[in-house]
């Protein structure tokens, strides 16, 4: 898994031989600065972008293969013991309203380099059926984390935050809430040269700017009714700059961005998850203590915990989910939840590249 945070590659080895997936090994490979910058450039139209896109797609496949090899060596697992790699790829454009989404990572090359069958391109089939192509992980949450009598909400806080609503005795819903870590990471990188705001400490040292927060919250996407999904196509530094007056203290902007991320999640739960009792967090943003504390203030009636308490590790849950999605593709099971993505019908997701 390599997501909208653009921090690197999460690799997991998962055993699905029992009813509950067993996480056997994990590995994280950080992106280099040069690759991250090149990926950010590709999010917008640029000179010679088609050629650059293909070169970076090959580079990602090489990195994915190398990271897989490191994990398998450490776990002492041989290639013949691995059924498939589920590879999400790196999103650079997500435009479901225009009928496409684009994830980089040459799956054919990954199969060639790794010697393992690869399942990739999970989102396109759902979009072809009129869906958003995202989020796809709610199907995994529905299968593994639903409770028969407790109303749970699973919140993944990556670059974009998304939630899965699991009300007892009712169907599962889910959608992208809005920015999670994305804007906070971009702002601290611009102002301080840091990759992220550890524990939200910098944000906690500033003051929220009410007028700016309101401008951010006025974004029409946040008030749209699900199904909906988003990404860097909308929420980026240019979008943020358009909301700034120019005289704001940088630390106060960071404080406001943290409040914004907290509000988009909390408001979504208030609006679309009425009666929620338990909230389980995963993704990198779950470690941002200032963000979690802010959510507790906005959601005082909900018990907020990490997914670790349910047996799925907070940092690896999304990667585990895409391993599971690959397994479903090999079984030819349709797992897109139409109530989540808005597709006209269930679809079998993913393309297979045999080793």
Are residue 224 and residue 334 in the same domain, yes or no? no
Are residue 158 and residue 232 in the same domain, yes or no? yes
Are residue 68 and residue 193 in the same domain, yes or no? no
Are residue 34 and residue 90 in the same domain, yes or no? yes
In a domain, 211, yes or no: yes
- pLDDT of 46 over the 90 cut: no
Q: Is 165 helix (H, G, I), strand (E, B) or coil?
A: strand
pLDDT given for residue 295 in this prediction? 98
pLDDT given for residue 19 in this prediction? 86
Are residue 152 and residue 281 in the same domain, yes or no? yes
Are residue 171 and residue 285 in the same domain, yes or no? yes
Are residue 28 and residue 176 in the same domain, yes or no? no
pLDDT given for residue 154 in this prediction? 98
Mean pLDDT of the chain: 97
Average pLDDT over residues 277-301: 97
Long-range contacts of range 87-90, CB-CB < 8 Å, 24 or more positions apart? 87/118, 87/119, 87/120, 87/322, 88/1, 88/2, 88/3, 88/120, 88/122, 88/322, 89/2, 89/60, 89/120, 89/121, 90/2, 90/6, 90/39, 90/60
Are residue 337 and residue 242 in the same domain, yes or no? no
In a domain, 1, yes or no: no
For 296, the token pair is 């507790």
- pLDDT of 248 over the 90 cut: yes
In a domain, 240, yes or no: yes
**Who contacts 66 (Cβ-Cβ below 8 Å, separation ≥6)?**
29
Residue 252's CATH number: 3.30.420.40
pLDDT given for residue 285 in this prediction? 97
DSSP state of 4: T
Nearest to 270 by CA among 230, 308, 302: 302
Encode pLDDT of 119-161 as tens digits: 999 999 999 999 999 999 999 999 999 999 999 999 999 999 9
Are residue 229 and residue 145 in the same domain, yes or no? yes
Beta strand 278-282 with 152-157: parallel, antiparallel or unpaired? parallel
- pLDDT of 105 over the 90 cut: yes
Are residue 37 and residue 158 in the same domain, yes or no? no
Q: Is 298 helix (H, G, I), strand (E, B) or coil?
A: helix
Q: 227: domain range?
A: 138-310
Encode pLDDT of 298-339 as tens digits: 999 999 999 999 999 999 999 999 999 999 999 999 999 999
Are residue 246 and residue 320 in the same domain, yes or no? no
In a domain, 14, yes or no: yes
DSSP state of 32: P
Q: Is the Cβ–Cβ distance between 193 and 211 less than 8 Å? A: no
In a domain, 2, yes or no: no
Predicted TM-score (pTM) of the model is 0.96
**Who contacts 109 (Cβ-Cβ below 8 Å, separation ≥6)?**
58, 61, 62, 65
For 182, the token pair is 């994305």
- pLDDT of 243 over the 90 cut: yes
In a domain, 61, yes or no: yes
pLDDT given for residue 354 in this prediction? 98
Euclidean distance between CA atoms 107 and 111, whole angstroms: 6
pLDDT band, very low/low/confident/very high, at 15 (cuts 50, 70, 90): very high
Are residue 106 and residue 227 in the same domain, yes or no? no
Average pLDDT over residues 215-238: 97
- pLDDT of 75 over the 90 cut: yes
pLDDT given for residue 152 in this prediction? 98
Encode pLDDT of 53-74 as tens digits: 999 999 999 999 999 999 999 9
Query: How many domains does one find in the chain?
Result: 2
pLDDT band, very low/low/confident/very high, at 192 (cuts 50, 70, 90): very high
Average pLDDT over residues 88-111: 97
- pLDDT of 21 over the 90 cut: yes
């Amino acid at each position: 898994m390599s997501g909208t945070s653009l921090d690197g590659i999460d690799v997991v080895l998962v055993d699905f031989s029992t009813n509950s997936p067993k996480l056997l090994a994990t590995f994280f490979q950080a992106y280099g600065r040069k690759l991250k910058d090149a990926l950010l450039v590709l999010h917008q139209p640029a000179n010679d972008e088609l050629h650059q896109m293909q070169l970076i797609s090959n580079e990602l496949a090489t990195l994915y293969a190398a990271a897989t090899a490191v994990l398998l060596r450490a776990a002492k697992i041989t290639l013949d013991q691995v059924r498939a790699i589920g590879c999400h790829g790196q999103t650079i454009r997500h435009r479901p309203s225009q009928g496409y989404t684009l994830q980089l990572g040459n799956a054919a090359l990954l199969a060639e380099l790794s010697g393992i069958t690869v399942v990739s391109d999970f989102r396109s089939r759902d979009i072809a059926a009129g869906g958003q192509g995202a989020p796809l992980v709610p199907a995994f949450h529905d299968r593994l984390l639903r409770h028969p009598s407790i109303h749970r909400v699973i919140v993944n806080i990556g670059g974009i935050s998304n939630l899965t609503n699991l009300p007892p005795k009712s169907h599962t819903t889910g959608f992208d809430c809005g920015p999670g870590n994305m804007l906070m990471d971009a702002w601290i990188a611009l102002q301080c040269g840091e990759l992220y705001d550890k524990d939200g400490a910098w944000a906690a040292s500033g003051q929220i700017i009410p007028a700016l927060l309101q401008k951010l919250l006025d974004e029409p996407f946040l008030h749209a009714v699900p199904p909906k999904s988003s990404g860097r196509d909308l929420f980026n530094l240019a979008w943020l700059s358009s909301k700034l007056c120019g005289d704001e203290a940088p630390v106060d902007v960071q404080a406001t961005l943290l409040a914004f991320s907290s509000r988009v999640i909390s408001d979504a739960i208030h609006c679309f998850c009425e009666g929620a009792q338990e909230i389980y967090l995963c993704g990198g943003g779950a470690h941002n203590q200032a963000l979690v504390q802010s959510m507790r203030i906005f959601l005082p009636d909900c018990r907020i915990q990490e997914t670790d308490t349910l047996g799925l590790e907070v940092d690896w849950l999304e990667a585990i989910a895409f391993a599971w999605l690959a397994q479903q593709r090999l079984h030819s099971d349709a797992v897109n939840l139409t109530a989540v993505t808005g597709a006209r019908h269930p679809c079998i997701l993913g393309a297979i590249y045999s080793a």
